Amino acid sequence: HPKVVLIQVIDPSMKASDLHRQLAKDLIATNGDLVNIFSISANNSGASPFAFVQVLKEILVETEEHMNLREDLLELARQAYATNPLQMKLIDEFDSQYQANQAIQWYTRSEAFLSKMLARASRVPDPDILFKLRYFIQDLHGQIRSQTYSTGVTVYRPMHLPKKIVEEIQRHQDGFLCFNQFLIVNKNQEHSSASTVKSEYRRILFQMELGNTIPRAEIGGNSNQLVLPLCTPFKIVKVESNAEDG
């Protein structure tokens, strides 16, 4: 059985100044399941990488009509995959056929270059690369936020995380965390794989309570799978564990 972390999303209407005062804390970062997690306590003050990634997100999603964002993305992708015929074919397809309302569709194409490039750039994070991906980031962010819902929903994300990071999250109960990606979640409570986990890792199940005002979008007509906006901040409400997972 995995550990369970109950987290509540922070209302995006909160003023940035209030958010930064509330969330300026110590940082814990980890790479798990190719997703970077920033976890912070609730009672520290001072500048923090958590606040940095929130500010970076706002810069990335800010529309700049006079910038050649599309050309920046295509140039970067063609340089990165110059020796990969499959990806070059997908880049040409993107160049000739892509529309803004297809952002989620492209992001969830596991074989395509966009999700791969975003994952790599987000894990560090690498502002230079992320800036060159703004054309797609802005479309994806906008498509997610364009969806509206009348009720809230509970969603889940299983992951394998280093033991020390799980312990940090436990210590940061009542604190905050964010996933440094456009996170894909599921309405079904599916646990991570039951395969053997390395001794320094733990299985963990994030349970997230999303209010009706929290942006999210269904994936490919599958009402059980949702994608959340970039770097959505959450409050850590409760952490539960059991003896089997230490």
- Give the residue, 174 or 135, on which the prediction is more confident: 135
Mean pLDDT of 156-182: 85
Per-residue pLDDT tens over the stretch 94-117: 999 999 999 999 999 888 899 989
Burial class (CB in 10 A: 0-12, 13-18, 19+), 114: buried
- The whole-angstrom separation of Cα 96 and Cα 124 is 31
Residues in the chain: 246
Distance of alpha carbon 208 from alpha carbon 211, whole angstroms: 10
Query: In the chain, what is the straight-line distance between the N-terminal and C-terminal CA atoms, in Å?
Result: 10
Asked if the model's pLDDT at residue 18 lies above 50, the reply is no
Write the DSSP assignment of 103-144 as a string of letters: HHHHHT-TTSHHHHHHHHHHHTT-HHHHHHTHHHHHHHHHHH
Q: Residue 4 above 60 pLDDT?
A: no
pLDDT digits (tens, 9 = 90+) for 191-236: 555 555 667 788 888 999 998 888 999 998 778 899 999 888 888 8
Among 202, 200, 203, 177, CA closest to 190: 203
Cis peptide bond prior to 2, omega within 30° of 0: no
